[in-house]
Structure 1
Amino acid sequence: MNISFLLQGVVLGFSIAAPVGPIGVLCIRRTLMQGRTVGLVSGLGAAMADAIYGCIAGFGLTLISNFLVNQQLWIRLIGGIFLCYLGIRTCLNKPAEVSALVQSNSLFSDYASTLFLTLTNPATILSFVAIFAGLGVVEGSYFDAAILVLGVFVGSALWWFVLSFGIDLLRSRFSQRGFIWINIISGVILVAFGAIASGAALRAIAY
């Protein structure tokens, strides 16, 4: 196993996951409201999406990557609308509903929602292609690409592990009123992200 590619993948995956965007807000909110397991599983959905795009770039699947990049405006529009939906639903959730929410929503749905949202940004493929080419993976073997993609997943998952367990330590400090504000603030941020993404996609489609 090429340890150097593995370590580079871990650093790459961690650095890609670390900036707090809509997925980060969603995972932080879920951790505070439902616990670290839900937050971690949600983060793993994003990590898997990063690994999928890493595979497409690393293994040179140009047919798939070209299709996704060419259709990225429509894909981002769908993702933006879904973000708005999640944001509105988050604003309307009440702390009293948390226990019922945990029972009714399976971990799979938490995982699938972040997987889907992360996949709605096909431009990530172009970033992976550029980075992988810089590391010499494009001209290398499929084995090297697989090791690098594995590292990307491990690095991304490591970030979500650190985030969910760190945020979970703060749960006991919030009152019932605090959880209401968490829902409102998180929901507004998600709607804002969704509106910006949808608006940008619609303007680009119109032109």
Structure 2
Amino acid sequence: MTGALVAGLLAGYGIAIPVGPVGTYLVALTARTSWRVGACAALGIASADGIYALVAAVAGSALAPLLAPIVVPLRWVSVAVLLALAASGGIKAVRRYRAHRLTGITQELPVGALKAYVGMLGMTLLSPMTMIYFAALVLGSGSANSNPAERAVFVIAAFVASASWQLLLAGSGALLGRALTGHRGRLLTALGSSVVIVVLAVRMVA
């Protein structure tokens, strides 16, 4: 049981700690909105990791071959979504700056904590690499042959690890948001976030 716990924690942190486009967007979203919205978005990402961990633990070695034919299309869909988010964020930031009407989360996408959760859940689920990561991890470690209790511990530990890291990112975004109270600061942050997301999205298919 301890082995399953440690394996789950390592798996969760292993997929969560490298900050990619989704993590970057999470920090920027929290900076522009609130800790509550950011926390819900963070839990959406962690929920996707937990779902992938669950499917990987149950299906084991059958996952990677099934996903191989659709990895490239899903990667392009993910890139398209990220580029759309980057463009939308940059355009809205410029418009708000020009109008000198910076708004809160009620005027941002996604609107509200629930939509933040669902939006980030869907965005993370678009990434096939997370599924392949967990499938390869479970197969390589022999977790596919473990008993149901050990699989449950593995999945819960992976979710907790991912959630703790994503909440840390959201917290850093909240602190950043408090520091950027002026119109210019928020504009530069939003544009910088959009540029980073574009670069990371392009690197996914480069």
What's the Cα RMSD here? Answer: 2.3
CA distance in 2: counterparts of 1:110 and 1:47, whole angstroms: 13
Q: How many residues align?
A: 198
The two structures have a TM-score, normalised by structure 2, of 0.84
Distance 1:84 1:170, change over 3 A: closer
- Indicate the larger mover: 23-32 or 67-76: 67-76
Distance 1:69 1:40, change over 3 A: farther
Partner of 1:79: 78
Once the two structures are superposed, what CA deviation does each residue of 1:128-175 show, in whole Å capped at 9, x if it has no partner? 233223433122113211210111001000111222223322322212
- Identity, in percent, stands at 26
Cα distance in 1 for residues equivalent to 2:128 and 2:178:
38
| Distance change in 2, residues 1:27/1:127 (3 Å) | same
Counterpart among 138, 143, 146 of residue 152 in structure 2: 146
Amino acid at match of 2:52: Y
Q: Using the alignment, how far apart are the partners of 1:188 and 1:164 within structure 2?
A: 19
Equivalent positions of 1:151-166 (< 5 A) are 151-166=157-172
Q: After the TM superposition, which of the residue ranges 26-35 and 93-102 deviates more from structure 2?
A: 93-102
CA distance in structure 2 between the aligned counterparts of 1:38 and 1:105, rounded to whole angstroms: 9
- Equivalent in 173, 176, 191 of residue 170 of structure 1: 176
Residue equivalent to 1:205: none
d(CA) in 2 for partners of 1:181, 1:51: 34
Contiguous gaps of at least 5 residues in structure 1 = 201-207
Counterparts of 1:100-111 in structure 2 under 5 Å? 100-101=106-107, 105-111=111-117
Distance 1:134 1:116 in 2: 27
In structure 2, which of residues 115, 118, 124 is the aligned counterpart of residue 112 of structure 1? 118
Partner of 1:185: 192
Change in Cα spacing, 1:83 to 1:129, as seen in structure 2 (3 Å) is same
